[in-house]
Amino acid sequence: MTQALAAMARMTLRQLRQVASGLGVSLYSRKSKDELLAAINDRQDEDPPSLEAIEAELPPAPRPSSVTTNVVFLPRDPQWAYVFWEISPADRSQAQAGGASQLCLRVADVTGLPMGSAHPHALQEVVVDSHATEWYLPVPLSDRDYRVELGYRLGNGGGWISLAFSSVARVPALHPSEQILDQFVPFSLETSPNVSMPAIAAPSPDSGLHERLYQTATSRWRRLGRGSEAFHELEEAGIDTSELHASGAGIWASGRNDSGRGGVGSRQRSFWLVADAELIVYGATDPSARLCIGDQEVPLTADGTFRVQVPFRDGQQLYPIEAVAADGEQKRNITLEFNRTTPEDNSNPADKAIGEWF
């Protein structure tokens, strides 16, 4: 008897059963002490099983009872899409029996078409590995709707066996959208800066802040403007503008004299046009700070943002923006400068339209 076996012989029956359990002795709970010693001795003399032997004894991995063929199309970016699929054994066997030679993905452009239709001459076919289950596809054109078909190409004459279709998915555009939906936050000087302002609401009554900001921004560069600005500044300067027509072209703008006579019958019609631009100044700072544009204080929303619309007329505009911390110890500032010119202005509002003979 070996020394190890002699040591185990001094163990209790319970201890021997624990050793036998660890060595994989079967029915160890029913064996006597002598039987356990013999079984343990036999186990220790055996070589440990290899990994291949253990794997061979394991049952095969469970598989779903019913596998259906399907394909999924997922756009990754405007130029590439990710496709993955699963083919049932029955469909694969049937396709191979029918002469299938190559597994393929067909990408069809279905933008604006009813279900099941595709644009002619807009089909891309990609050959994939027969055992693959996923693939990256190049997208022919961005900002379009696509559908992927999974199938086999036949080797005898180029036939086609269709297996499954993916859902229609939209590939995003390569460039940013040209649609801009600005939502402005209205405010009033009577509103407390600590009160959260609604994101979308009816415009508040004009408090005069926009005009005061504009006047402050342009006071250093006030000069005679052009277009509609010129008429207002001429009148303020005391210059007679009665000889000027409302359209800015004079009484001869219609190309005929004031009697309206010409080679053809004359007609009278009022015509008008209005067009202008506004400047948007926006930003954010600490919600407890005090923000000023020039010498005008601008209220902040609860999260410290601000957004104002000011007139954008001809000339130079300067907007010095300064934020001061609540304790007055810290300051941040930025100065924005803008310049607008109107090379030509032959416009007038509808209520100032004058009948013209032409």
Q: Which residues pair with 281 in a beta bridge?
A: 308
Percent over 90 (pLDDT), the chain: 22
CA-based R_g, the chain, Å? 42
Q: Which of 135, 157, 158 is nearest to 148 (CA)?
A: 135
**Per-residue pLDDT reduced to its tens digit, 226-276:** 444 444 444 555 555 444 444 444 433 344 444 444 444 556 667 888 888
The larger pLDDT score, comparing residue 58 to residue 36, is at 36
pTM over 0.75: no
Spatial neighbors of 271 by CB under 8 A, at least 6 apart, are 353, 356
What pLDDT does 160 receive? 87
Spatial neighbors of 336 by CB under 8 A, at least 6 apart, are 281, 318, 319, 321
3-state secondary structure 58-91: CCCCCCCCCCCCEEEEEECCCCEEEEEEECCHHH
The larger pLDDT score, comparing residue 141 to residue 186, is at 141
CA 70 to the chain's CA centroid: 28
Residue 330: pLDDT band (50, 70, 90) is: very high
What pLDDT does 47 receive? 57
Cβ contact 273:347 at 8 Å = yes
Identity of residue 107: V
Cβ contact 18:10 at 8 Å = no
What pLDDT does 22 receive? 77
**Per-residue pLDDT reduced to its tens digit, 50-93:** 666 666 766 766 655 557 899 999 999 998 999 999 999 889 98
What pLDDT does 243 receive? 47
